Structure 1
Amino acid sequence: MIRKATEKDIQAVSHIYDEIHTEEEAGRVTIGWIRDIYPTEKTAEMALQMGDLYVLEEDGVVVAAGRLNQQQEPSYAEADWEYDAEEQEVMVLHTLVVSPTIENRGYGRAFVSFYEDFARKHGCNYLRMDTNQKNTRARQFYKKLGYREVGIVPCTFNGIIGVQLVCLEKKL
């Protein structure tokens, strides 16, 4: 079940962030995130305050989360988007996370499917998102789901300096 997050979900979402940081620090994954910089508990709290944090819950446990809104990252202005969409026609997925303790069960795919349905329901036919160039696993995942890489933009991303931000796009 995917639903809008509540205050009680913040700890669970933050725990997933910490699990991913631990996996990266151990060298088991390469995401490009840095503990205590991004994402943090404050990242989840801010998303909750903005009203755009969603969680995927399985048997009462939050196993995935992400933000859905129409706010394009400032760096997106540098990308060579295939579609010249108006801002109100674009939905963006931010900070999609799945607990590494239960990955490969289709939760990421389910969340992206929810995102696409959410966009349709809000009149947005153009989907955008980003990932770090280092995150080859996410890049392959999004490609399988029909997202096209439109460019790589060098930037400082959420406090992380020197990010090569891969911008992805899909038209519904």
Structure 2
Amino acid sequence: MDWKIVKGREEQVEEIAALYARTIDALVEGVNYTGWRRGGYPGEATAREGVAAGTLYVAQKEGAIGGTIILNHLYEGAYEKGKWAVDCPYSEVFCVHTLVVDPACRGQGIASALLDFAAAEGRRAGMRALRLDVFEENAPAIALYEKKGFERRTRVDLGLGIPGLKWFYLCEKLL
């Protein structure tokens, strides 16, 4: 059975938050490509807000959640510095956030499936592009994004104010 991608539900918020915590624990204990830290982003508030807004999607199989993605029109201020291939308002762009795969489910194509879903949803909704930011040292994510058709447009400081998390690539996939 393949992973099915559906909107996250209120009753899944705690499970999604636990998935985020497991992922951060695995990153902190291994190579922390994202720079995420315990007690920060993403957490329960991220899950709760995404579910409430109807923008958080989960990859699930047999009732278990293997990954998440958030698709919305919200972007960091530094995106204004982006050298985007398509000049359009953000109402015509899906911004990709919180692409997370449960460490126990890695290697099953979940992240790839979530990005394919994002592109399909974007096309269905009439979006012109997908955009995201990725920490410049997150080589695995950069490789995946480029494999899925994203192009690096600009290197920016997102202004997070977190030591070691300064430079990010702004990436775009035209739809």
**Alignment-derived partner of residue 144 in structure 2:** 141
Residues 10 and 52 of structure 2 are in contact (CA less than 8 Å); yes or no, is this contact kept in structure 1? no
> Which deviates the most, 86-95 or 133-142?
86-95
Distance in 2 (alpha carbons) for counterparts of 1:91 and 1:47: 14
**Alignment-derived partner of residue 30 in structure 2:** 27
Residues 131 and 139 of structure 1 are in contact (CA less than 8 Å); yes or no, is this contact kept in structure 2? yes
Offset at 1:167?
0.8
Unaligned runs of 5+ in 2: none
Matched, 1:55 2:53: no
Distance in 1 (alpha carbons) for counterparts of 2:125 and 2:93: 10
Counterpart selection for 2:20 from 17, 22, 30: 17
Distance in 1 (alpha carbons) for counterparts of 2:135 and 2:110: 20
Deviation string, structure 1 residues 95-120 (Cα, Å, up to 9, x no partner): 11011111111111111111111101
Unaligned runs of 5+ in 1: none
SS where residue 19 of structure 2 aligns? helix
| Equivalent runs, 1:72-91 vs 2, <5 Å | 72-91=75-94
> Which deviates the most, 141-150 or 38-47?
38-47
**Alignment-derived partner of residue 173 in structure 2:** 170
Matched, 1:92 2:95: yes
Residues 155 and 168 of structure 2 are in contact (CA less than 8 Å); yes or no, is this contact kept in structure 1? yes
Matched, 1:42 2:45: yes
Offset at 1:154?
0.7
Residues 128 and 169 of structure 1 are in contact (CA less than 8 Å); yes or no, is this contact kept in structure 2? yes
| Paired-residue identity, % | 30
Offset at 1:33?
0.9
Distance in 1 (alpha carbons) for counterparts of 2:78 and 2:15: 29
Offset at 1:91?
1.2
State TM-score, norm by structure 1.
Answer: 0.92
Offset at 1:29?
4.0
Residues 131 and 138 of structure 1 are in contact (CA less than 8 Å); yes or no, is this contact kept in structure 2? yes
Deviation string, structure 1 residues 102-155 (Cα, Å, up to 9, x no partner): 111111111111111110111102111111112111001101111001111112
Residues 33 and 135 of structure 2 are in contact (CA less than 8 Å); yes or no, is this contact kept in structure 1? no
Letter in 1 for 2:169: V
SS where residue 156 of structure 1 aligns? coil
| Over 6 Å off, 4+ runs | none
> Which deviates the most, 134-143 or 24-33?
24-33
Letter in 1 for 2:70: R
